[in-house]
């Protein structure tokens, strides 16, 4: 019987997304309990294209091409792939020998690591045009093998025009060379050459994004949310608007997450949890009005146009849920005491989970930890902030 997850081996983008979902479910605060992940991701991809919750440090986008280039010296695609996997394991030890631990993928699992760095950063290599083409690592090695054979035949033919038609390697030819002995000991600090290359490459590939703008315009603070950077007022208008949409949505949808947890606490008949979520909802309502003023002057038409430009396949039920939640808030309803709010959240969970919904499934409710999905949406800003920090640090060092 063929596994229903066979596509994970051949579709690197789908595999990456599945791994991101798995990671999100490990973090109770960020679980997408109400099915608004498509909106969250549309905003994150607009602000910080190429980033992923699977990322740790930016220099991995240098390590992976270097490992691929080294493994490509083996004689066959099969041997190249095996060598590449061996080198990915070896990279763990090299980073630890270089004094790194935090952010090292596999620092505990070592040779038992299953989720390799190449899988985590593969989409970024494509988004930032360091990987030039839609192929897997296995496809890259097959290409190298074929290229080597074609190159040999072309040289024998001594045909200058044929040599000009040889395909590229699949990696940007301007990737800086690897340092000497880097697989013995290496750290996450970018060299000046690497920083310049990555800054230019990412900014060009993601032109018009917040990520590209911040590469050239470092803020002086490191806030928890991108809309709190101190130089946002200097950004182009479309980026200020995008950050403002993200801020408003983060505030608004947080109340729905709190309401969901309140309903679970009520169904469990846990008076302490109920009181806690009622209090948190009261605090959130105060924030919604002042200081965030999240609903004040918010053009929903512009908001949805922004989301649908990035995700034209956004599902109507998702839009309807968000619109009805905003309608309820604009009407002045207090969610904690609103039957309409409770019905909306109940219906939405049933809509996306069916019989597995905690609000109808006692077994699922029993597995609830007491808090799920209450983290504020930051749209991958913490990841982008770390990557930008690596670039800024390299500039200072050089």
Helix axes 316-330, 37-47, angle to 10 degrees: 90
Distance CA 361, CA 364 (A): 5
SS3 assignment, position 226: helix
Token pair belonging to 155? 């040289």
Please give the torsion angle defined by the CA atoms of residues 334, 338, 341 and 346, in that order, rounded to the nearest 10 degrees.
Answer: 140
Distance CA 13, CA 131 (A): 13
**pTM given for the model:** 0.89
Q: Which H or E element spans position 129?
A: none
Q: Are 98 and 186 in contact (CB under 8 A)?
A: yes
Q: Are 324 and 256 in contact (CB under 8 A)?
A: no
Q: Are 97 and 184 in contact (CB under 8 A)?
A: yes
User: Which mean pLDDT values do the consecutive 10-residue runs of the chain (398 residues) have?
Assistant: 35 49 46 95 98 97 96 93 96 97 95 94 97 91 83 56 53 95 98 98 98 98 98 98 98 98 98 98 96 96 97 97 98 96 98 97 97 96 98 94
Distance CA 127, CA 57 (A): 16
> pLDDT at position 7, please?
32
b/e per residue, 237-271, with b = 16+ CB within 10 A? eebeebbbbbbbbbbbbbbbbbbbbbbbbbbbeee
> pLDDT at position 113, please?
93
b/e per residue, 11-29, with b = 16+ CB within 10 A? ebeebbeebbeeebeeeee
- Domains of the chain, by residue range, sit at 28-49+235-381, 60-205
Q: Which H or E element spans position 154?
A: helix 137-157
Distance CA 77, CA 170 (A): 15
> pLDDT at position 9, please?
36
Task: Compute the residue count for the chain.
Answer: 398
């Amino acid at each position: 019987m063929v596994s229903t997850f066979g596509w994970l081996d051949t579709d690197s983008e789908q595999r990456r997304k599945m791994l991101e979902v798995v990671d999100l479910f490990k973090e109770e605060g960020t679980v997408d309990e109400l099915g608004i992940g498509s909106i969250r991701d549309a905003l994150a991809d607009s602000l910080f294209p190429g980033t992923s919750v699977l990322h740790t440090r930016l220099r991995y986008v240098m390590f992976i091409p270097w490992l691929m280039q080294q493994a490509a010296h083996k004689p066959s695609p099969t041997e190249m792939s095996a060598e590449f996997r061996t080198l990915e394991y070896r990279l763990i030890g090299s980073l630890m020998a270089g004094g790194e631990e935090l952010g090292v993928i596999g620092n505990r699992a070592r040779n038992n690591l299953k989720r390799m760095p190449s899988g985590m950063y593969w989409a970024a290599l494509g988004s930032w045009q360091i990987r030039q083409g839609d192929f897997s690592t296995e496809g890259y090695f097959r290409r190298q093998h074929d290229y080597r054979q074609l190159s040999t035949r072309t040289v024998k033919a001594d045909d200058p025009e044929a040599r000009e038609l040889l395909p590229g390697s699949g990696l940007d030819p301007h990737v800086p060379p690897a340092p000497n002995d880097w697989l013995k000991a290496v750290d996450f600090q970018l060299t000046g050459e690497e920083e310049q290359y990555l800054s230019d490459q990412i900014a060009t590939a993601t032109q018009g994004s917040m990520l590209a703008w911040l590469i050239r315009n470092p803020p002086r603070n490191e806030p928890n949310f991108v809309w709190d950077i101190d130089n946002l007022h200097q950004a182009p208008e479309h980026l200020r608007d995008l950050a403002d949409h993200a801020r408003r949505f983060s505030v608004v949808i947080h109340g729905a997450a709190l309401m969901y947890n309140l309903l679970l606490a009520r169904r469990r008949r846990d008076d302490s949890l109920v009181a806690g979520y009622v209090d948190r909802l009261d605090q959130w309502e105060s924030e919604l009005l002042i200081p965030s003023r999240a609903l004040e002057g918010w053009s929903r038409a512009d908001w949805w146009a922004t989301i649908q430009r990035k995700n034209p396949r956004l599902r109507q039920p998702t839009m309807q849920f968000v619109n009805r939640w905003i309608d309820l808030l604009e009407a002045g309803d207090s969610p904690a005491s609103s039957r309409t709010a409770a019905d909306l959240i109940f219906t939405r969970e049933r809509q996306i989970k069916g019989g597995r919904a905690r609000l109808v499934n006692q077994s699922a409710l029993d597995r609830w930890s007491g808090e799920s999905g209450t983290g504020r949406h930051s749209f991958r800003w913490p990841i982008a902030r770390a990557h930008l920090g690596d670039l800024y640090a390299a500039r200072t060092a050089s």
